């Protein structure tokens, strides 16, 4: 039985670190969906695919055309696709920011999930993990449009986990607070040992994939890192 992994957002800060971890793993093929050049070389195992505009369904269709289905294959998907804008109270927020967050965090992932499900139907089964946000579970001021878009993603994950039963597909989400990336380190002034390590995210997502027969429909909260437990 073959196992293949698809990583959307592989050229982002989280996606690049996660990708470097996953390509060392058990998968027969790893498809890295990128929007710009990354420092990972393609090979027989690692296939780089330029994503184009993921808010356009035709662009998503073109990506999935590169991945062949098989009833002897399990397919897995991790999406690090998303974006952030914040800093405004609701009455100061712009409709353009709302549209941008819905496009980046919801529309793209809806299209990715839709066409992943169509792929899973032609395979032995599949599992997907999407990147939500702790803000979607714990509202705070100045994050209305970001939190709203991620909350909508949470609902998409949960309903897909119910509908996916008929095609042998599980769907889950992770909801980290602050991820230890170069961009976040530029403004975060607290203890960096308490923010989420991308390599640990990769390990955790792999554990979800390994147990996808029993883990389904969860939005897993990651508010902070307990630095003395590992």
pLDDT per residue as tens digits for the range 146-203:
999 999 999 999 999 999 999 999 999 999 998 988 888 878 778 878 888 999 999 9
pTM (two decimals): 0.95
What's residue 230's pLDDT?
66
Q: What class has domain 2-222?
A: alpha beta
User: Which of 32-41, 114-123, 165-174 is least confident?
Assistant: 32-41
What's residue 186's pLDDT?
79
Query: CB-based contacts of 76: which residues, under 8 Å, 6+ apart?
Result: 3, 4, 5, 6, 27, 126, 127, 128, 209, 212
pLDDT (average), residues 2-7: 97
Eight-state DSSP code of residue 197: P
pLDDT (average), residues 72-86: 96
CB 110 within 8 A of CB 154: no
CB 74 within 8 A of CB 125: yes
């Amino acid at each position: 039985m073959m196992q293949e992994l698809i990583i959307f957002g592989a050229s982002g800060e989280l996606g690049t670190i996660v990708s470097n971890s996953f390509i060392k793993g058990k998968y027969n093929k790893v498809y890295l969906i990128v929007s710009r050049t990354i420092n990972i070389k393609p090979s027989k195992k690692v296939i780089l695919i330029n994503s184009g505009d993921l808010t356009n369904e035709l662009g998503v269709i073109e990506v999935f055309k590169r991945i062949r289905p098989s009833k002897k294959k399990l397919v897995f998907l991790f999406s690090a696709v998303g974006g952030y804008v914040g800093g405004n109270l609701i009455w100061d927020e712009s409709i353009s920011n709302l549209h941008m967050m819905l496009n980046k965090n919801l529309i793209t992932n809806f299209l990715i999930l839709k066409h992943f499900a169509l792929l899973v139907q032609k395979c032995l089964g599949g599992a997907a993990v999407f990147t939500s946000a702790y803000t979607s579970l714990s509202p705070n001021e100045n994050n209305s449009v970001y939190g709203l878009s991620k909350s909508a993603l949470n609902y998409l994950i949960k309903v897909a986990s119910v509908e996916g039963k008929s095609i042998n597909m599980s769907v889950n989400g992770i909801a980290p607070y602050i991820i230890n990336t170069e961009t976040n380190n530029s403004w975060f002034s607290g203890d960096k040992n308490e923010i989420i390590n991308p390599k640990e995210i990769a390990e955790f997502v792999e554990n979800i994939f390994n147990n996808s027969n029993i883990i389904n429909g969860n939005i897993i909260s990651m508010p902070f890192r307990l630095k003395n437990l590992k």
